């Protein structure tokens, strides 16, 4: 038997692209979310299977290296597989390729298994046979130097109130939507091409909460934070192409 991977092909839509006809980070995160969910369903620990056990997977971070710009009209294939869990951390690898099979993005994400009734973290053995029989792969798609993003002072660039249209089945803001909020902290003329990004999630934000986006420009990109009155909820580190620095 070969190494396990879940693979899906996506003809990209007009709504997946920005004002420069480039695939947006939010759209890429949505593609990763789709294949992660489908793979988990296939392996026996998807949303519905876990809901019956009072469990759920919560994403805590995603890192992506963008090898080239994906343009309007392209079709991409996304491949994913789970890595062996380490204590309470579950990691998943992704490889995004074009119609010629050439990689256009390499990504990885970190998840935690949560007891949704007690709001505590759960160990892999709570998955039962789905964990015991899972064809984990140790192979990584990309290395992450650090999952930690330093706190910033920054300047407030955007303020918004969370509505129901951006919430998911856990009743908090969908992870991909934060990428849209963060990039809205830039004007069109300010935003260079992104070569990689890291987005991390600390606290859930629910409908009705007010979110403030802060931005600090760095020598090689920018760091952004989303905050409520209770503190930082989400961070994003962007690295830009050198020609735009």
Please write the tens of the pLDDT for every residue from 4-61: 999 999 999 999 999 999 999 999 999 999 999 999 999 999 999 999 999 999 999 9
Q: Out of 101, 132, 163, pick the residue that ends a domain.
A: 132
The two structure tokens encoding residue 239: 């690295």
pTM above 0.85, yes or no: yes
Residues 66 and 104 in one domain: yes
Torsional class of 201: left (φ above 0), alpha (ψ -120 to 50), beta (otherwise) = beta
At residue 70, the 3 state secondary structure works out as coil
Q: What's phi and psi for 18, nearest 5 deg?
A: -95, -165
**58 inside domain:** yes
| Averaged pLDDT score across all residues of the chain | 95
Torsional class of 44: left (φ above 0), alpha (ψ -120 to 50), beta (otherwise) = left
Residues 13 and 111 in one domain: yes
Residues 60 and 123 in one domain: yes
Q: What is the pLDDT of residues 112-163, one digit of tens each?
A: 999 998 889 999 999 999 999 999 999 999 999 999 999 999 899 999 999 9
Residues 126 and 19 in one domain: yes
In the chain, the percentage of residues whose pLDDT exceeds 70 is: 98
Residues 99 and 211 in one domain: no
The whole domain housing 112 covers 6-132
CATH number, residue 164: 3.10.129.10
Residues 223 and 170 in one domain: yes
Look at residue 243 in the predicted model and tell me its pLDDT: 62
Is the Cβ–Cβ distance between 96 and 105 less than 8 Å? yes
Please state the domain count of the chain: 2
**148 inside domain:** no
**145 inside domain:** no
């Amino acid at each position: 038997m070969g190494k396990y991977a879940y693979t899906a092909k996506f003809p990209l839509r007009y709504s997946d692209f920005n004002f420069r006809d480039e695939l947006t980070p939010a759209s890429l995160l949505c593609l990763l979310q789709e294949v992660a969910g489908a793979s988990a369903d296939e392996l026996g620990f998807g949303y519905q299977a876990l809901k019956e056990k009072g469990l759920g997977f919560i994403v805590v971070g995603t890192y992506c290296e963008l090898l080239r710009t994906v343009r309007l009209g392209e079709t991409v294939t996304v491949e994913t597989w789970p890595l062996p869990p380490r204590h309470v951390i579950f990691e998943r690898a992704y490889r995004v390729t074009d119609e010629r099979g050439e990689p256009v993005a390499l990504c990885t994400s970190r998840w935690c298994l949560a007891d949704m009734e007690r709001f505590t973290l759960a160990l892999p053995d709570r998955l039962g046979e789905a964990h015991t029989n899972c064809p984990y792969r140790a192979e990584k798609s990309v290395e992450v130097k650090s999952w930690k993003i330093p706190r910033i002072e920054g300047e407030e660039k955007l303020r918004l109130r969370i509505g129901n249209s951006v919430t998911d089945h856990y009743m908090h803001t969908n992870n991909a939507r934060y990428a849209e909020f963060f990039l809205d902290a830039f004007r069109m003329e300010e935003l260079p091409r992104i070569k990689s990004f890291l987005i991390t999630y600390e606290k859930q934000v629910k409908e009705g909460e007010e979110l403030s986006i802060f931005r600090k420009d760095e020598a090689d990109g920018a760091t952004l934070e989303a905050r409520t009155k209770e503190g930082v909820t989400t961070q994003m580190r962007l690295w830009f192409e050198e020609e735009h620095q």
